Amino acid sequence: MDNKEVVMSKKKTIGVITGIAVGTTVVAARIMKKKAKKTTYKVENIDSVPVRKRGFYEKYIKRVCDVICATGAIVCFSPLYICVAVLVKLKLGSPVLFTQDRPGLIDKDGKETIFKMYKFRTMTDERDENGDLLPDEVRLTKFGKWLRNTSLDELPEAFNILNGTMSVIGPRPQLVRDMVFMTSEQRMRHTAKPGLSGLAQVNGRNAIFWENKMEWDLKYIKKVSLHEDIKIIFKTVEKAFIKQEGITEENMATAENLGDYLLKNERITSEEYNQKQLEAKKILNRTKDKKIRDEKRITAVETGAKNKKYSVLMSLYKKEKPEYLKLALDSMLNQTVIPDEIVLVEDGPLTDELYAVLNEYPMLHRVKNETNLGLGLALNVGLKECRNELVARMDTDDCSKPDRCEKQLARFAEKPYLAIVGSHIDEFVGDISNVVSQRIVPTSSDEIYNYAKKRSAFNHPAVMYSKTAVLENDGYADLKRNQDVDLFGRMQFEGYKAENIDEALLWFRSSDELAKRRKSWQNTWSYIATIRKFWKMGYASFYDYVMIGIAQTGMYLMPIKIQNYIYKKFLRK
């Protein structure tokens, strides 16, 4: 092999390695971003600030630079990461990493999001006789102080940069208890993604007064550019690693909180100080509150399942047929475990024939809407009227099999942590004896999670779900179609577990009218928009969104006979 071939071979090897590195980085960043979204939450009990318009660099280029820098730092300094982690383990014990909730980039409504920031641990867990942590100056060891002075404790923040919650350069994320004391103008600093370093860090860090910190941050957001970020990076290296300037204030283990600073300088009263501290605690207790709510929900589900108490939720529209309605109601009243109640929402004025059928069932809990709200909003109204934790959905033209609810209750009793239990369905035309196909859905939680990113993982009229879980996710959205796909997809993304029983528990009425409805552009666009929403929130991938868009548009454009053939051949059993 001559020199030219050797050079070409080396170039190919370098090209392959570079391609693998880039691909791995993109995938890793995407996965970490999705995981970060599950632990990131928005502050609700706070006023909004104006949303700042971001420039081209900040909107499109900065994130790419962040991923490259974070990946490079993690790879190049991996021996340093390992050494520091081992030292922390030996000198301070476990856990090696310290996580803390910090205010991040504001959401579209101008309210901050709270993310988990990673650091190497610098303090011990020493507590007093009451179990409370000792003051910071007592728990901060010489080793921990050294880590802070050298900024080595901040190395894990590279993973925050990789998952998209932080940037290399931006306003330094302060504590939640500092955020609540900021003015609306000062909170404008949160219109830029928080950074590992920023203008305030290269102009004194924690050794300068709070007013100066805020001024530097506000100055930065007025001129976010590549040139400015590069200047700050070089100054950070000089200040933090060479001169080691201004890490903390004199004679203090950690920087003074904004609230303490304002109180000490008589900028606020004691009453204002205490009120703001309570606001911060409410924000930080969100995770703890959710855990408590989950425990209560699981207990309520288990109690309802074991006592065999459940509600049935239905919505009735004037165009429904009376004979179908009667069949649907009878199928629920003839369950092997009879429902505790049937909540039926009259979604707008009905026909005399429908009212006549309803009057035959005095046990119904009828809820009347003055106007037609649409299926999703009507179900929200009815759901709030349900008195049981477990609610069985049912449409007014389908027919539940006699043991449907008994089997779903048994599954909830076995696994009370589940939020949704559904099943397959038998699709019939005319009479339930004329089953023409089955819609098979995934059964396990993991399969459902992945399936729901692209297609409906449930047969809506055949599900039984936790009322609390649905309401915690804001119920059904105001959509013309696919309300269930949207709701159940959001619930999956939020971590609620679900299963489908591996058998058909409902007869689903199929017809040519249903096929025509599938073919409408309104239905097609609604489905595409739902998957786009999943992509934007970090649930579905961009590939999922594009492929669904192509598939749905193709199905809409093809003749209805071909469409029906595809449904029966490939999408049904």
For residues 324-340, b (16+ Cβ closer than 10 Å) or e, as one string? Answer: bbbbbbebbeebebebb
Q: Give pLDDT, residue 55.
A: 92
For 145, the 3-state DSSP assignment is helix
Question: Six-digit token pair at 211?
Answer: 């007013």
Per-residue pLDDT of the chain (573 residues; tens, 9 = 90+): 566 665 566 667 666 666 665 666 667 777 777 778 778 888 877 888 998 999 999 999 999 999 999 988 888 888 999 999 999 999 988 889 988 999 999 988 888 999 999 999 998 888 777 666 777 778 888 998 898 888 889 999 999 999 999 999 999 999 999 999 999 999 999 999 999 999 998 887 766 889 999 999 999 999 899 999 999 999 988 876 666 554 444 444 467 899 999 999 999 999 999 999 988 988 887 766 777 888 899 999 999 999 999 999 999 999 999 999 999 999 999 999 999 999 999 999 999 999 999 999 999 999 999 999 999 999 999 999 999 999 999 999 999 999 999 999 999 999 999 999 999 999 999 899 999 889 999 999 999 999 999 889 999 999 999 999 999 999 999 887 889 999 999 999 888 999 999 999 999 998 755 555 555 767 777 888 999 998 887 788 888 888 888 887 877 676 666 666 665 655 556
Q: Give pLDDT, residue 333.
A: 96
Q: Give pLDDT, residue 22.
A: 62
Q: In angstroms, rounded to a whole number, what is the distance separating the alpha carbons of residues 68 and 273?
A: 42
For residues 126-155, b (16+ Cβ closer than 10 Å) or e, as one string? Answer: eeeeeeeeeeeeebbeeebbebbeebbbbb
For 210, the 3-state DSSP assignment is helix
419 in Cβ contact with 497 (< 8 Å)? yes
Q: Give pLDDT, residue 246.
A: 47
Q: Give pLDDT, residue 23.
A: 67
3-state secondary structure 268-313: CCHHHHHHHHHHHHHHHCHHHHHHHHHHHHHHHHHHHHHCCCCEEE
Sign of the Cα pseudo-torsion (52, 56, 57, 58, in order) = positive
Query: Which residue do the tokens 């429908």 mark?
Result: 354
- The DSSP code for 360 is T
For residue 252, count CB atoms less than 10 angstroms from its CB and return exposed for 0-12, middle for 13-18, buried for 19 or more.
exposed
Q: Is 244 left (phi over 0), alpha (psi -120 to 50) or beta?
A: left
Q: In angstroms, rounded to a whole number, what is the distance separating the alpha carbons of residues 420 and 499?
A: 6
Question: Six-digit token pair at 373?
Answer: 């709200």
Q: In angstroms, rounded to a whole number, what is the distance separating the alpha carbons of residues 269 and 397?
A: 64
**Predicted structure pTM score:** 0.62
| Distance, C-alpha 147 to centroid of its chain | 34
**If residue 420 lies in a helix (H) or strand (E), which one and from where to where?**
strand 418-428
Q: Give pLDDT, residue 224.
A: 94
- The DSSP code for 398 is -
Q: Give pLDDT, residue 149.
A: 81
3-state secondary structure 502-528: EEEEEEEECCHHHHHHHHCHHHHHHHH
Which phi and psi angles does 342 have, rounded to 5°? Answer: -120, 115
Question: Six-digit token pair at 364?
Answer: 């119904």
3-state secondary structure 178-207: HHCCCCCCHHHHHHCCCEEECCCHHHCHHH
What separation in angstroms does the CA of 235 have from each of 10, 37, 225, 247? 37, 32, 16, 15
Q: Give pLDDT, residue 364.
A: 96
95: cis peptide before it, omega within 30°?
A: yes
Q: Is 406 left (phi over 0), alpha (psi -120 to 50) or beta?
A: alpha
N- to C-terminal Cα distance for the chain? 59
Closest among 339, 350, 346 to 366, alpha carbons compared: 346
Which phi and psi angles does 333 have, rounded to 5°? Answer: -75, -15
Q: In angstroms, rounded to a whole number, what is the distance separating the alpha carbons of residues 389 and 300?
A: 6
Q: In angstroms, rounded to a whole number, what is the distance separating the alpha carbons of residues 500 and 445?
A: 8
For 94, the 3-state DSSP assignment is coil
Q: In angstroms, rounded to a whole number, what is the distance separating the alpha carbons of residues 311 and 384?
A: 11
| Biggest distance spanned by C-alpha atoms of the chain | 94
Question: Six-digit token pair at 333?
Answer: 């009243």
Q: In angstroms, rounded to a whole number, what is the distance separating the alpha carbons of residues 452 and 485?
A: 7
Q: Is 200 left (phi over 0), alpha (psi -120 to 50) or beta?
A: alpha
Question: Six-digit token pair at 172?
Answer: 């330094």
